[in-house]
Amino acid sequence: MQAMSGTNATPVARLARVLRRASWPLLALAAGCGTTEFEAKPTIPTPLVTKIPIVVGVYLPPEFREKVYREKREGADFAVTIGKAQSEAFMRLMEAMFTRAVPVPSTDAGASTDPAIRGVIEPVLEDFAFVTPADSGSDVYAVSLKYRINGYRPDGKFFESWTFTGYGAAAVEGMLSGGTESLQKATQLAMRDAGARLATEFREQAVVRGLLPDVPASGATEVAPPTDAESNTPPQ
């Protein structure tokens, strides 16, 4: 499944353009110094969508389950533990979207794990990018999470992939917080946005290519859009 147009522009550059406004005094302080470290928390509710009537295997590679994003910038180090949160969120979505979602130990273990498995799905975090107030000249932290979903036949033969990006933004909550809480909130909102895209768009992407049966889909979902005050998708 190919990338949707318009969703995967260079994340940092795009967010910086969107958020760059008049300079705010003391915003550099909000970017923090030293080490900014936190563990992302899953905030994705179970989507109310019509289940796709097949059984899928789900392979969560170690680099996905144990992912810690690290980056060094001038005057600051960042460490974001995201593996546990994204793994829990992804399995919750798969269990809601399919008749059954069965964990498998590898991409070629579908047939040997459960004969009912029609295909194996593997999530990959391709990019974690963020913009601080010091970068954008605004009082906002913004995060983008670019994911790729790989699809495999039960015997492990790769057949298709699809990429999508989730965005999150959160205003600085206090000059003395170092921005940790705001960056954490922006990360959670980006995960929520990515989850909403997966829940509402994956089925159509797969059906169009004949990979999954076409069944009526429900438009209802608990993955609600953010309010205007905490919008997590940058305007075009």
CB 189 within 8 A of CB 226: yes
How many domains does the chain divide into? 1
* Share above pLDDT 90 across residues of the chain, in percent, rounded to a whole number: 44
Residue 218 placed within a domain: yes
pLDDT digits (tens, 9 = 90+) for 213-229: 554 444 433 434 344 44
Phi, psi of 220 (to 5 degrees): -80, 140
Q: Which residue range(s) make up the domain with 158? A: 35-223
Of 1-5, 55-59, 126-130, 178-182, the poorest mean pLDDT is in: 1-5
- Sort strands 117-131 and 98-103 into parallel, antiparallel or unpaired: unpaired
| Cα–Cα distance for residue pair 6/24, rounded to 1 Å | 30
Residue 23 placed within a domain: no
The H or E element that residue 163 is part of is: strand 158-171
Residue 115 placed within a domain: yes
Of 167 and 51, more confident: 167
| Cα–Cα distance for residue pair 40/43, rounded to 1 Å | 9
Residue 27 placed within a domain: no
For the chain, helix (H) and strand (E) counts, in that order, are 7, 8
> What is the reported pLDDT for 230?
43
* Share above pLDDT 70 across residues of the chain, in percent, rounded to a whole number: 67
Sign of the alpha-carbon dihedral angle for 195, 200, 201, 206: positive
Residue found under tokens 């970068």: 135
Sign of the alpha-carbon dihedral angle for 96, 86, 159, 119: negative
Residue 85 placed within a domain: yes
Residue 166 placed within a domain: yes
Band (pLDDT 50/70/90 cuts) for residue 34 is low
Residue 157 placed within a domain: yes
Residue 17 placed within a domain: no
Q: Residue 200, SS3?
A: helix
For residue 177, give the CATH number of its domain: 3.30.160.150
pLDDT digits (tens, 9 = 90+) for 54-84: 899 999 999 999 999 999 887 788 899 999 9
Q: Is the pLDDT of residue 101 over 60?
A: yes
